[in-house]
Amino acid sequence: MAICASSCAQGLPDSYTGGCGIISRPGGIKRLWFIKCDFTGPLATDANWTTAQTAGDVVGSGLVMGQKAKGSFTKKRIASCMPEGITGAEKQVTFQDYNTDTVTPGGNLAYEFWNTILNESTNFRFAYETCDGHVYGPIDSFVLEIDEVIEDNNTGSTYFDGTVLWNDILMSEPTYIAGGITPA
């Protein structure tokens, strides 16, 4: 006996395994990208990203040490005779940026970069690039939390510690860019 009406049944997705065991992907987030909210061009190739950077529509952070953990899901019972359902989700990328301003001696370009994104995050979309050349996003609405950390001795480091948060029940599907994105 069917558990749903035939009009509700969906087609099955294609299998993603070849039946030859597990083939895993490496982790690590390489760089964070910020895209002007009104940019509508394609970002499917390195050449597209380079053109958008040159036009001032996209800017990337320096190399970061980052990760994306499993999202936090909100559940709610919406029918007495059914189990709880997922009604929302919060996703996040956490990162540390150890870069400093090497363009202007004694400069503050890294602080200006992060403060601009922090102050004007509603004017940007967000994407992140993994070490294996996959780009996730763009994500239309996000919140950035970031602050500097200054370790307690001269053998330590000063760096930016941050989190980018967004809401979405679905996973972002990555776009593979062979060789990754070339910063302009």
**pLDDT tens for each residue of 152-172:** 999 999 999 999 999 999 999
**pLDDT tens for each residue of 74-121:** 999 988 998 999 999 999 999 999 998 877 777 899 999 999 999 999
| Residues 89, 72 contacting (CB under 8 angstroms) | yes
pLDDT of residue 116: 97
Q: Which two tokens stand for residue 95?
A: 């990162």
- In angstroms, the CA 149 to CA 70 distance is 25
Measured from the Cβ of residue 123, the count of other Cβ atoms closer than 10 Å reads: 12
pLDDT of residue 1: 58
Measured from the Cβ of residue 64, the count of other Cβ atoms closer than 10 Å reads: 24
Residue 72 has pLDDT above 80, yes or no: yes
CA distances from 55 to 47, 51, 113, 154, 175 (A): 12, 6, 17, 40, 21
Segment 110-135 shows an average pLDDT of 96
pLDDT level of residue 70 (50, 70, 90 thresholds): very high
Question: Which residue type occupies 146?
Answer: I
**Is the entire prediction scored with pTM above 0.85?**
yes
pLDDT of residue 2: 66
